[in-house]
Amino acid sequence: MCVFGFLFFIFGFSMINIKKFTKVGIIGYGAYLPYWRIKVEEIARNWGKSGEKIKKSLGVEQKAIAAKDEDCITMAVEAGQIAFKKAGINPKKIGAVFIGSESHPYSVKPSGTIIGDILRIDREYFCADLQFACKAGTAGLQIVAAMIESGMIDYGLVIGSDKAQARPGDALEYTAGAGSAAFILGKDTGVKLMATYSISSDTPDFWRRQGCDFPSHVGRFTGEPGYFYHLETGIKNFLKKINKKPKDFDYVVFHMPNAKFPLRLAKKLGFGFSQLERGFLVPKIGNPYSASSLLGLISVLDQAKANKDILLASYGSGAGSDVFWLKTRKTLKDKQNNAKKL
Same domain, 46 and 104: yes
Same domain, 177 and 29: yes
Residue burial 82-103, b: 16+ Cβ < 10 Å; e: rest: bbbebbebebebbbbbbbbbbb
Same domain, 145 and 262: no
- pLDDT, position 110: 98
Do residues 158 and 186 make contact, with C-beta atoms less than 8 angstroms apart?
no
Does the pLDDT value for residue 70 go beyond 80?
Answer: yes
Whether 198 is covered by a domain: the verdict is yes
Catalytic one among 104, 217, 230, 255? 255
CATH code of the domain in which 219 resides: 3.40.47.10
- pLDDT, position 212: 84
The mean pLDDT of 39-68, rounded to a whole number, is: 96
Q: Which of 186, 204, 239 is the last residue of a domain?
A: 186
Give the whole-angstrom CA distance, residue 100 versus residue 241.
27
Taking alpha carbons only, the member of 154, 149, 155 closest to residue 183 is 155
- pLDDT, position 215: 81
Does the pLDDT value for residue 3 go beyond 50?
Answer: no
- pLDDT, position 218: 79
Strands 18-20 and 191-203 turn out to be: antiparallel
- pLDDT, position 220: 65
- pLDDT, position 217: 80
- pLDDT, position 112: 98
Whether 80 is covered by a domain: the verdict is yes
Does the pLDDT value for residue 341 go beyond 50?
Answer: yes
Same domain, 263 and 276: yes
pLDDT tens string 192-228: 999 999 999 999 887 788 888 888 787 766 789 999 9
If one compares 204 and 93, the residue with the highest pLDDT of the two is 93
Does the pLDDT value for residue 6 go beyond 80?
Answer: no
Whether 19 is covered by a domain: the verdict is no
The mean pLDDT of 243-272, rounded to a whole number, is: 98
Same domain, 39 and 176: yes
- pLDDT, position 221: 63
If you average pLDDT over every residue of the chain, what do you get? 93
Same domain, 34 and 169: yes
Whether 6 is covered by a domain: the verdict is no
Show Cβ contacts of residue 37 under 8 Å, excluding neighbours closer than 6 positions: 62, 63, 64, 65, 284, 285
The mean pLDDT of 259-269, rounded to a whole number, is: 97
- pLDDT, position 206: 79
Question: How many structural domains is the chain composed of?
Answer: 2
Whether 1 is covered by a domain: the verdict is no
Show Cβ contacts of residue 65 under 8 Å, excluding neighbours closer than 6 positions: 34, 36, 37, 38, 177, 178
Same domain, 174 and 42: yes
Does the pLDDT value for residue 191 go beyond 80?
Answer: yes
Do residues 174 and 54 make contact, with C-beta atoms less than 8 angstroms apart?
yes
Catalytic (active site) residue 102: yes
Do residues 337 and 311 make contact, with C-beta atoms less than 8 angstroms apart?
no
Catalytic (active site) residue 2: no
Catalytic one among 70, 78, 104, 134? 134
Strands 318-328 and 191-203 turn out to be: antiparallel
Whether 8 is covered by a domain: the verdict is no
Does the pLDDT value for residue 131 go beyond 70?
Answer: yes
Q: Which domain holds residue 106?
A: 25-186
Whether 250 is covered by a domain: the verdict is yes
Quickly state the pLDDT bin for 11 (edges 50, 70, 90): very low
Q: Which of 131, 158, 186 is the last residue of a domain?
A: 186
Same domain, 240 and 172: no
If one compares 204 and 249, the residue with the highest pLDDT of the two is 249
Whether 12 is covered by a domain: the verdict is no
Quickly state the pLDDT bin for 5 (edges 50, 70, 90): very low
Same domain, 213 and 104: no
3-state secondary structure of 302: coil
Same domain, 240 and 314: yes
Same domain, 166 and 229: no
- pLDDT, position 216: 79
Does the pLDDT value for residue 122 go beyond 70?
Answer: yes
Does the pLDDT value for residue 8 go beyond 50?
Answer: no
Do residues 160 and 102 make contact, with C-beta atoms less than 8 angstroms apart?
no
Percent of the chain with pLDDT over 70: 95
Query: Which ranges in 155-244 belong to alpha helices (H)?
Result: 229-242
Same domain, 35 and 182: yes
The mean pLDDT of 301-319, rounded to a whole number, is: 97
Catalytic one among 70, 72, 78, 102? 102
If one compares 80 and 337, the residue with the highest pLDDT of the two is 80
Q: Which of 158, 186, 214 is the last residue of a domain?
A: 186
Does the pLDDT value for residue 15 go beyond 80?
Answer: no
